[in-house]
Structure 1
Amino acid sequence: MTSYVRWDADDLILLCHLQPGAKHSDFVGLHGERIKIRLNAPPVDGKANNQLIAFLSKAFAVPKHAIQIESGELSRQKRLRISKPNQIPERPEFKHLVI
């Protein structure tokens, strides 16, 4: 298992590095020991966190309430919990994960 993503029972723990204010939201690759995610929302008034939750909700096919920011709410470095993901994005960073 990699350091940026791991299973905790049925939940997926994701360590990420955010780049808010990008032209579009997408997984970019790795940034050190974290997966880098670009977000098309600015880092003000919780907009980037809301966009992150919406983006991951779609990517992992779960409702928004199934995603929790466990740490780093005010930081670019975040630890997230995705409860019972229904799909894994087709990205090289996630190729080793199986539901």
Structure 2
Amino acid sequence: MPSCLLPVKVIPNAPRTAVAGWLGEALKVRVQAPPVEGRANAALCAGLAERLGLPGSAVSVARGTTASRKLVRIEGLDLAAVRQGLAPPENP
């Protein structure tokens, strides 16, 4: 089963949870949850899983649980598929 590690920069306490684009090699994600008791990490994982069409258990924080820069493990997709799944929709 493919998997990958994705560098992520998390911005907590945002008005809504959304992918904000790329910051170099890291994905920038705004999460509505506060950085308290793992709530921002849970919101990050749930949001990425939903966006990528994966079960919630397929996305986890591998490193940086208390930092804004994290390394997220994604099971079931390789890095190319993750980048494609996170790309903005193309305009027709």
Fold shared per TM-score above 0.5: yes
Unaligned runs of at least 5 residues, structure 2: none
Q: Could you say which structure has the higher helix fraction?
A: 2
Instruction: Give the structure 2 partner of residue 25 of structure 1.
Output: 17
SS in 2 for 1:41: coil
Highest RCO, 1 vs 2 (Cα 8 Å, sep ≥ 6): 2
Distance in 1 between residues matched to 2:20 and 2:85, nearest whole Å: 12
Matched, 1:67 2:50: no
1:26-82 deviation per Cα after TM superposition (whole angstroms, max 9, x unaligned)? 111122431100001111111101101110110111111111211000111000111
User: Which of 73, 76, 79 is residue 71 of structure 2 equivalent to?
Assistant: 79
Measured on the aligned residues, the alpha-carbon RMSD in Å equals: 2.0
What is the aligned partner in structure 1 of residue 42 from structure 2? 50
User: Does the 8 A contact of 2:46 with 2:59 survive in 1?
Assistant: no
Equivalence for 2:85: 89
Identity between Structure 1 and Structure 2 (%): 30
TM-score by length of 2: 0.79
Q: Give the 4+ runs in structure 1 shifted more than 4 A.
A: none
